[in-house]
Amino acid sequence: MSFNTPHGTRGARLPSKRLMNWINAWNMKRIRGKATKVMGFPSLVLTTVGAKSGTPRHTPVAYFPDGTDSWLIVASAAGAAKNPDWYYNLRAHPDNVQIQIAGQTIAVSAEQLSGNARQLAWRHITSTAKRFANYEQKTDRELPVIRLRTRPNPKP
């Protein structure tokens, strides 16, 4: 599935970029220090390649286990009208992604879910994390659900 979710026309206001950068840096330090939860959710550090810059970008995000070697994340931006920047990085480079989780760095591929797969995943997410259902109510865009899967190691 392609990454094709447009911006909405309404949504929650986010803190300033400067404050978000500070919060993200603090949360990433906690995750890398082996914190299992941030703001009440299991969290990982998502490393993408900038869509425009081509440089690595690191972002803490909540995740939901999705079987063995698979995780679900939501491009919610707390219900903002716009998708988070990392969503566009995943769209540009879905096979050049890493996550840091439980003290490990894992190469993953990203895929945006749609249709029945998204509905099932969304039901699972909102049944375990009511906050995400609230985010959905704040905006008129469909919140993208992304599946991250471990990439196989290339053979030497």
Beta strands in 7-144 (DSSP E): 37-38, 41-49, 56-62, 64-65, 70-74, 97-101, 104-112
Enumerate domains of the chain plus CATH numbers: 17-149 (2.30.110.10)
- The mean of the pLDDT values for the chain is 92
Q: In one letter, which amino acid is 115?
A: G
Torsions phi, psi for 98 (to 5 deg): -135, 155
Q: What is the pLDDT of residues 44-81, one digit of tens each?
A: 999 999 999 999 999 999 999 998 899 999 999 999 99
Q: In one letter, which amino acid is 77?
A: A
Q: What average pLDDT does the segment 91-115 reach?
A: 95
Whether the Cβ atoms of residue 66 and residue 58 lie closer than 8 Å to each other: no
* Predicted model pTM: 0.91
Secondary structure (3-state) at 41: strand
Task: Give the pLDDT band (50/70/90) at residue 95.
Answer: very high
d(CA 134, CA 151): 32
Q: Which of 7-11, 33-37, 38-42, 134-138 has the highest mean pLDDT?
A: 134-138
Residue 156: its pLDDT value, please? 55
Instruction: Answer yes or no: is pLDDT of 102 > 90.
Output: no
Q: What is the pLDDT of residues 1-37, one digit of tens each?
A: 578 888 888 999 888 989 999 999 999 999 988 787 8
Half-sphere exposure of 97 (CA within 13 A, CB side): 27
